[in-house]
Amino acid sequence: MKTATADPATAGRPPRAGLLTRMKRSYDRHWYAWAMVLPVVLVIGVLIAYPLGRGVYLSFTDANELNVAKQLGATEIPATYQFVGFDNYWRVLSGADGEFYPKLAWTVVWTVSCVFFHYTIGLGLALLLNRKLKGRSLYRVLLILPWAVPAFVATYIWRMMYNSESGIFNALLGQLGFAPVDWLGDTFMQKVAVIGVNVWLGVPFMMVAVLGGLQSISSEQYEAAEMDGANAWQRFRHVTLPGLRPVSATVILLGTIWTFNMFPIIYLMLGEANALHSEILVTYAYRLAFGSVRDYAGAATYGILILSMLLVFAVFYRRMLNRQEAAR
What is the residue-wise DSSP string for 277-291? TT--HHHHHHHHHHS
State in angstroms the smallest separation of the CB of 158 from another protein: 6
Contact present, 239 and 222 (Cβ < 8 Å) = yes
Of 43 and 109, the one with the shorter C-beta distance to another protein is 43
**Range 42-71, binding another protein (CB under 8 A):** 43-44, 47-48, 50-55, 58
Stretch binding another protein (CB under 8 A), from 86-94, 96-104, 177-185, 222-230: 222-230
Q: Residue 72 in 3-state DSSP?
A: strand
CA-based nearest residue to 126, from 189, 242, 209, 50: 209
Q: Residue 150 in 3-state DSSP?
A: coil
CA-based nearest residue to 264, from 241, 248, 280, 277: 280
**Range 299-318, binding another protein (CB under 8 A):** 299-300, 302-304, 306-307, 310-311, 314
CA-based nearest residue to 194, from 270, 119, 274, 306: 270
Determine, following the binding rule CB under 8 A, whether residue 40 of this chain makes contact with another protein: yes
State in angstroms the smallest separation of the CB of 254 from another protein: 7
Of 74 and 227, the one with the shorter C-beta distance to another protein is 227
Stretch binding another protein (CB under 8 A), from 89-97, 111-119, 125-133, 182-190: 125-133
Rounded-to-integer distance, Cα 140 and Cα 134, Å: 11
Determine, following the binding rule CB under 8 A, whether residue 281 of this chain makes contact with another protein: yes
Q: Which of 114, 115, 123, 143 binds another protein (CB under 8 A)?
A: 143
Of 58 and 275, the one with the shorter C-beta distance to another protein is 58
Determine, following the binding rule CB under 8 A, whether residue 82 of this chain makes contact with another protein: no
State in angstroms the smallest separation of the CB of 186 from another protein: 19
What is the residue-wise DSSP string for 12-47? -PPPPPPHHHHHHHHHHHHHHHHHHHHHHHHHHIII
Determine, following the binding rule CB under 8 A, whether residue 167 of this chain makes contact with another protein: yes
Sequence-distant (6+) residues with CB within 8 A of 111 are 256, 259, 260
Q: Which of 28, 98, 246, 320 binds another protein (CB under 8 A)?
A: 246
Determine, following the binding rule CB under 8 A, whether residue 291 of this chain makes contact with another protein: no
Stretch binding another protein (CB under 8 A), from 91-99, 112-120, 178-186, 284-292: 284-292
Determine, following the binding rule CB under 8 A, whether residue 33 of this chain makes contact with another protein: yes
| Pairing, β 70-72 against β 75-77 | antiparallel
